[in-house]
Amino acid sequence: MDRTFAMVKPDGVQRGLVGDILSRFEQRGLKVVGLKMLWIDEDLASRHYAEHVGKGFYQKLMEYITSGPVVAAVLEGKNAVQIARDMMGKTNPMEAGPGTIRGDYGLEIGRNVIHGSDSPASAEREIGLFFKPEELQDYEKIDAIWLYE
């Protein structure tokens, strides 16, 4: 099984979308193995968005992601990274298809409700930034036999 990182951003938390978003992942068959609410500080934000340092939108991104609480999750399942990315839709909500999280809930790229790892390597790095190993749970769900061959 693969793991991926997903984060409901401050706008998603403020709009009361956490439950709806998490339930979409669970209904699809992804298992929540880590979950926490936190307020990201400057240090964590700068490590999380290190690849964007020097880009024109970096400062606004830092201000936004540290502006309110977020909900961080680790999701598990076969092809979890790709499944979660497909469910989120394109980064720009105006280009995200209907039925995707960003397509259904977002209007602007700077308020696109959710972040998700874009590769298995990113997932491993991001999970390590937000979760200690002992905060992740290994368990069997009773529906696994109905999800996977």
Pairwise CA distance, residues 141 & 127, whole Å: 21
pLDDT tens digits, residue range 25-75?
Answer: 999 999 999 999 999 999 999 999 999 999 989 999 999 999 999 999 999
Confidence of residue 98 (pLDDT cuts 50, 70, 90): very high
- What residue has token string 């977020």? 70
Instruction: Characterize 90-102 residue by residue with b for buried, 16 or more Cβ atoms within 10 angstroms of its Cβ, and e for exposed.
Output: beebeebeeebbb
pLDDT at site 78: 96
pLDDT at site 116: 97
CA distances to 28, 36, 147 from 142, in Å: 15, 23, 10
Homologous superfamily of 2-138 in CATH?
Answer: Nucleoside diphosphate kinase-like domain (3.30.70.141)
pLDDT at site 133: 98
Which are the catalytic amino acids? Answer: 115
pLDDT tens digits, residue range 101-135?
Answer: 999 999 999 999 999 999 999 999 999 999 999 99
Query: Could you tell me the two tokens for 114?
Result: 């959710």
Pairwise CA distance, residues 43 & 22, whole Å: 26
Domain ranges of the chain: 2-138
pTM: 0.95
